Structure 1
Amino acid sequence: MTPVVTDFKATRARKLITSEKEANRALTAARAPVGHGYAHLKVGGASPNSAPTPPARPACGALCSS
């Protein structure tokens, strides 16, 4: 199993040093292509198993009489 690498976190009391910022940029550069691929599947609807989501509630209310 591969180890999980996380980025450095800054706080108000502890700012990031230059080497930590560079490490965060390197992690982001490696992570971005994967995230963009998943975002494309979500937005584009390219997944064959995705179905349109039903509305949260009927447009005419709970008691529809047409």
Structure 2
Amino acid sequence: MMDYKSSGVNIEEGYASVEKIKDYAKRTLSPLVLNHLGSFAGMMELPEGYQKPVLISGTDGVGT
């Protein structure tokens, strides 16, 4: 039976990588950011002048 690890995806290494970059990523946040590291998409509030806008950016990765 095929699993993620034998196909080249190491979930534990992925988690370890996230831990290594988490503090660096947090430094890029602003008060406009609506979610944090770990979500499947980034959500950011847009400046005044729009009617309740939300900018959502997503990136699919291996296994999605």
After TM superposition, the score normalised by the length of structure 2 is 0.32
Which has the greater radius of gyration?
1
Higher strand share: 2
Higher helix share: 1
